[in-house]
Amino acid sequence: MPRVLYFSILREKLGSEESIEFKGSVGELKKVLKERHPQVADIIDRVKFAVNEEYVSDDFKLEGDETVAVIPPVSGG
Protein backbone atom coordinates (compact mmCIF):
# COMPACT_ATOMS: atom_id res chain seq x y z
CA MET A 1 0.00 0.00 0.00
CA PRO A 2 1.50 3.36 -0.99
CA ARG A 3 2.68 5.70 1.75
CA VAL A 4 1.47 9.19 0.85
CA LEU A 5 3.44 12.12 2.29
CA TYR A 6 1.92 15.60 2.43
CA PHE A 7 3.83 18.87 2.39
CA SER A 8 3.12 22.57 3.00
CA ILE A 9 -0.56 23.50 3.28
CA LEU A 10 -1.65 19.89 2.77
CA ARG A 11 0.38 18.81 5.80
CA GLU A 12 -1.35 21.49 7.86
CA LYS A 13 -4.79 20.30 6.73
CA LEU A 14 -4.32 16.51 6.51
CA GLY A 15 -1.32 15.62 8.64
CA SER A 16 2.08 14.47 7.49
CA GLU A 17 1.18 11.14 5.89
CA GLU A 18 -1.29 8.32 5.34
CA SER A 19 -1.27 4.87 3.79
CA ILE A 20 -3.85 4.11 1.10
CA GLU A 21 -4.83 0.74 -0.34
CA PHE A 22 -4.25 1.62 -4.01
CA LYS A 23 -2.78 0.43 -7.30
CA GLY A 24 -3.12 2.41 -10.52
CA SER A 25 -1.89 5.62 -12.11
CA VAL A 26 -0.92 8.80 -10.31
CA GLY A 27 -3.84 10.50 -12.07
CA GLU A 28 -6.21 7.92 -10.57
CA LEU A 29 -4.61 8.44 -7.15
CA LYS A 30 -5.24 12.16 -7.52
CA LYS A 31 -8.97 11.43 -7.99
CA VAL A 32 -9.01 9.16 -4.93
CA LEU A 33 -7.31 11.81 -2.79
CA LYS A 34 -9.83 14.45 -3.93
CA GLU A 35 -12.71 12.13 -2.98
CA ARG A 36 -11.17 11.31 0.42
CA HIS A 37 -10.28 14.92 1.19
CA PRO A 38 -12.81 17.21 -0.57
CA GLN A 39 -11.80 20.12 1.67
CA VAL A 40 -8.47 20.34 -0.22
CA ALA A 41 -9.59 19.13 -3.68
CA ASP A 42 -8.75 22.50 -5.26
CA ILE A 43 -5.18 22.24 -3.97
CA ILE A 44 -4.81 18.61 -5.07
CA ASP A 45 -5.73 19.74 -8.61
CA ARG A 46 -2.49 21.76 -8.69
CA VAL A 47 0.01 19.49 -6.93
CA LYS A 48 3.13 17.75 -8.23
CA PHE A 49 3.71 14.10 -7.40
CA ALA A 50 7.05 12.49 -6.68
CA VAL A 51 7.36 8.73 -6.37
CA ASN A 52 10.37 7.40 -4.49
CA GLU A 53 11.91 10.89 -4.66
CA GLU A 54 11.47 11.43 -8.44
CA TYR A 55 8.84 13.65 -10.04
CA VAL A 56 6.37 11.67 -12.16
CA SER A 57 3.53 12.39 -14.58
CA ASP A 58 -0.14 11.50 -14.08
CA ASP A 59 0.22 8.33 -16.19
CA PHE A 60 2.94 6.82 -13.94
CA LYS A 61 1.72 3.45 -12.60
CA LEU A 62 1.88 2.72 -8.87
CA GLU A 63 2.34 -0.91 -7.86
CA GLY A 64 1.37 -0.37 -4.23
CA ASP A 65 4.60 -0.20 -2.23
CA GLU A 66 5.92 3.24 -3.16
CA THR A 67 6.42 6.43 -1.20
CA VAL A 68 4.39 9.16 -2.88
CA ALA A 69 5.10 12.81 -2.06
CA VAL A 70 2.26 15.25 -2.73
CA ILE A 71 3.80 18.69 -3.22
CA PRO A 72 1.53 21.73 -3.58
CA PRO A 73 2.59 24.83 -5.51
CA VAL A 74 4.71 27.19 -3.45
CA SER A 75 4.77 30.97 -3.63
CA GLY A 76 7.51 33.16 -2.32
CA GLY A 77 8.23 36.77 -1.78
7 falls within a domain = yes
53 falls within a domain = yes
46 falls within a domain = yes
Q: Structural domain tally of the chain?
A: 1
77 falls within a domain = no
76 falls within a domain = no
For 35-48, write each residue's pLDDT tens digit: 999 999 999 999 99
pLDDT class of 74 with cuts at 50, 70, 90 = confident
User: For the domain that residue 58 is a member of, what is the CATH number?
Assistant: 3.10.20.30
- Regarding pTM above 0.75, the answer is yes
Alpha carbon distance 45, 33 (integer Å): 10
22 falls within a domain = yes
DSSP string, 13-24: HH-SEEE----E
Range of the domain at 43: 3-71
The residues near 24 (Cβ < 8 Å, ≥ 6 apart) are: 61, 62
